[in-house]
C-alpha cells in the first residue's frame, strides 16, 4: 500500500466520525509521528510503499478512533502554550480556554512581580500539569504548588514536569477537605465545574474517555470548589493577592458573587464570547 492509498483508506474508515478536512488533519499528525515525515514531505511522498508494520500501526489507530476515543489521547501528547505535554486517559485533554486563562494570568502576575519578586502560587486541580508548568516556566523565581486528588493524574503531571525540568510542589489531596497551611500570592484553578446531576447533558465522547473526576463536581453543587476557594482566599490569599478561575459559562454571575469581598473581581469572557473566567484582587 502506498502513502496516498493509506490516506484514502484512513479517510474512508473514519468518515462516520470526522469530516474530510478533519480526517486529513488527523492523518497528517499520525503520519508525522509514525512515518517521521513532515506535512511537506508527506505531499512529496505519495507513492511511498509502506511496510506491513506501519500499515498495522495505522490500522490500530483507525480501530481506536472508531470507538470515539479522542485522537490526542491516542497520540499521547499535545501542545499547550508552546510546550509539549504528555496526556493519557487519566487527565483532562488541555482546552484552548485554559490557554486564555494563562494568558490573562501571566499578564497580571507580571504586574504583581514588580512588588513581589518570587510569588507563591497555588493551583487547584493539576490534571496534566499545564497550569503549574506554564506558570513556573514564565516565572522561574515563583514557588508553585499544585494539588490533585487523582494519583494517576499526578503521575502524568510529574512526567511533564520532569520532561520540562520544572520544579513544582505536587500535593496529593482532596482539596475539598484540605487545610492550607500557608499563604499564597496567587490562587489559580480550573476545577471540575459540572454538577453530577448534569452528567446526562455531556457528550458521550467526553464522558466516556476523559476522567469523570476532572469533569464533575462530587455533588449536585457545581460551585462546590469555588465556595472552598472563596473560603480559603479569606485566610490564605495575601492582601492584593490575585485569583484566576476558569468557570462554568452558565454560572458566571453566581460564581462571581462568591468573591464580592475582594477589592476587585470581574467576569471575563472567552474568545467565543462566553463568561469563562474570574479575575480577582483581594
Ligand atoms: C477540569 S480538570 C483541570 C485539569 C487541568 N488543570 C487543566 O486545566 O487541564 C480538574 C482537575 O481537578 C482534579 N480534582 C477533582 N476533584 C478534586 C479534589 N477533590 N481535590 C483535588 N483535585 C481534584 C481532577 O483530578 C482534575 O485533574
pLDDT in tens, the chain (282 residues): 999 999 999 999 999 999 999 999 999 999 999 999 998 999 998 899 999 999 999 999 999 999 999 999 999 999 999 999 999 999 999 999 999 999 999 999 998 767 778 999 999 999 999 999 999 999 999 999 999 999 999 999 999 999 999 999 999 999 999 999 999 999 999 999 998 888 888 887 788 899 999 999 999 999 999 999 999 999 999 999 999 999 999 999 999 999 999 999 999 999 999 999 999 999
> Are residues 175 and 210 both part of a single domain?
yes
Question: End of a domain among 11, 35, 67?
Answer: 67
> Are residues 56 and 159 both part of a single domain?
no
The CATH number linked to 193 is: 3.40.50.150
If DSSP codes are grouped into helix, strand and coil, which group holds residue 268? Answer: strand
- For the chain, the domain total comes to 2
- Structural domain of 138: 90-281
Rounded Cα gap, residues 83 and 99, in angstroms: 11
> Are residues 127 and 256 both part of a single domain?
yes
pLDDT of 100 reads: 98
Question: End of a domain among 35, 67, 99?
Answer: 67
Q: Is the CB of 161 under 6 A from ligand 1?
A: no
The residue whose CA has the least distance to atom 26 of ligand 1 is: 214
Q: Does residue 81 sit within a domain?
A: no
Q: What is the 3-state secondary structure (H, E, C) of 14-61?
A: CCCCCCHHHHHHHHHHHHHHHHCCCHHHHHHCCCCECCHHHHHHHHHH
pLDDT of 201 reads: 83
Distance 135 CA to ligand 1 centre (A): 17
Rounded Cα gap, residues 137 and 165, in angstroms: 9
> Are residues 35 and 170 both part of a single domain?
no
Which cell goes with 239?
492582601
> Are residues 134 and 269 both part of a single domain?
yes
Contact 94, 128 (CB under 8 A): yes
Q: Does residue 74 sit within a domain?
A: no
Distance of CA 35 to the CA centre of its chain: 28
pLDDT of 48 reads: 92
Q: Does residue 83 sit within a domain?
A: no
DSSP per residue over 195-250, as a string? -GGGGGGS-HHHHHHS-HHHHB-SSS-TTHHHHHHHHHHHHHEEEEEEEEEE--GG
From 130, 146, 191, 226, give the residue whose CB has the most ligand 1 atoms within 8 Å, as the site to mutate: 191
The residue whose CA has the least distance to atom 22 of ligand 1 is: 148
Distance 150 CA to ligand 1 centre (A): 8
> Are residues 204 and 254 both part of a single domain?
yes
> Are residues 105 and 203 both part of a single domain?
yes
Contact 106, 142 (CB under 8 A): no
pLDDT of 197 reads: 85
pLDDT of 152 reads: 98
Question: End of a domain among 33, 52, 67?
Answer: 67
Q: Does residue 264 sit within a domain?
A: yes
Contact 66, 14 (CB under 8 A): yes
If DSSP codes are grouped into helix, strand and coil, which group holds residue 282? Answer: coil
pLDDT of 116 reads: 79
Q: Does residue 77 sit within a domain?
A: no
Q: Is the CB of 174 under 6 A from ligand 1?
A: yes
Q: Does residue 101 sit within a domain?
A: yes
Distance 30 CA to ligand 1 centre (A): 29
C-alpha distances in angstroms, 112 versus 54, 60, 109, 185?
A: 51, 49, 5, 9
> Are residues 153 and 266 both part of a single domain?
yes
> Are residues 230 and 123 both part of a single domain?
yes
Distance 53 CA to ligand 1 centre (A): 38
Distance 245 CA to ligand 1 centre (A): 13
> Are residues 56 and 104 both part of a single domain?
no
Q: Is the CB of 196 under 6 A from ligand 1?
A: no
The residue whose CA has the least distance to atom 19 of ligand 1 is: 174
Distance 148 CA to ligand 1 centre (A): 6
Distance 175 CA to ligand 1 centre (A): 9
Which cell goes with 246?
476558569
> Are residues 42 and 153 both part of a single domain?
no
Q: Does residue 72 sit within a domain?
A: no
> Are residues 45 and 99 both part of a single domain?
no
Q: Does residue 75 sit within a domain?
A: no
| Residue that the C-alpha cell 499578564 belongs to | 107
Rounded Cα gap, residues 129 and 94, in angstroms: 9
pLDDT of 110 reads: 92
Amino acid at each position: 500500500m502506498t502513502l496516498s492509498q493509506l490516506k484514502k483508506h484512513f479517510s474512508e474508515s473514519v468518515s462516520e466520525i470526522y469530516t474530510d478536512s478533519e480526517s486529513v488533519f488527523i492523518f497528517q499528525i499520525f503520519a508525522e509521528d509514525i512515518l517521521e515525515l513532515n506535512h511537506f514531505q508527506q505531499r512529496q511522498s505519495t507513492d511511498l510503499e509502506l511496510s506491513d508494520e506501519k500499515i498495522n500501526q495505522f490500522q490500530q489507530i483507525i480501530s481506536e478512533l472508531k470507538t470515539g476515543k479522542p485522537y490526542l489521547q491516542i497520540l499521547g501528547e499535545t501542545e499547550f502554550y508552546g510546550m509539549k505535554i504528555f496526556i493519557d486517559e487519566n487527565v483532562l485533554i488541555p482546552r484552548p480556554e485554559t490557554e486564555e486563562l494563562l494568558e490573562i494570568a501571566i499578564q497580571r502576575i507580571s504586574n504583581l512581580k514588580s512588588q513581589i519578586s518570587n510569588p507563591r502560587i497555588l493551583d487547584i486541580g493539576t490534571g496534566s500539569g499545564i497550569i503549574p508548568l506554564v506558570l513556573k516556566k514564565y516565572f522561574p523565581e515563583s514557588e508553585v504548588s499544585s494539588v490533585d486528588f487523582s494519583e494517576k493524574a499526578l503521575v502524568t503531571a510529574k512526567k511533564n514536569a520532569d520532561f520540562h525540568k520544572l520544579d513544582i510542589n505536587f500535593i496529593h489531596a482532596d482539596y475539598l477537605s484540605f487545610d492550607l497551611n500557608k499563604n499564597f500570592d496567587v490562587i489559580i484553578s480550573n476545577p471540575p465545574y459540572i454538577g453530577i446531576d448534569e452528567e446526562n447533558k455531556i457528550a458521550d465522547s467526553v464522558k466516556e474517555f476523559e476522567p469523570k473526576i476532572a469533569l464533575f463536581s462530587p455533588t449536585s453543587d457545581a460551585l462546590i470548589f469555588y465556595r472552598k476557594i472563596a473560603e480559603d482566599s479569606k485566610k490564605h490569599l495575601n492582601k492584593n493577592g490575585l485569583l484566576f478561575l476558569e468557570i462554568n459559562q452558565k454560572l458566571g454571575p453566581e460564581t462571581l458573587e462568591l468573591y464580592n469581598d475582594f477589592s476587585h473581581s470581574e467576569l471575563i469572557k472567552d474568545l467565543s464570547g462566553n463568561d469563562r473566567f474570574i479575575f480577582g484582587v483581594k
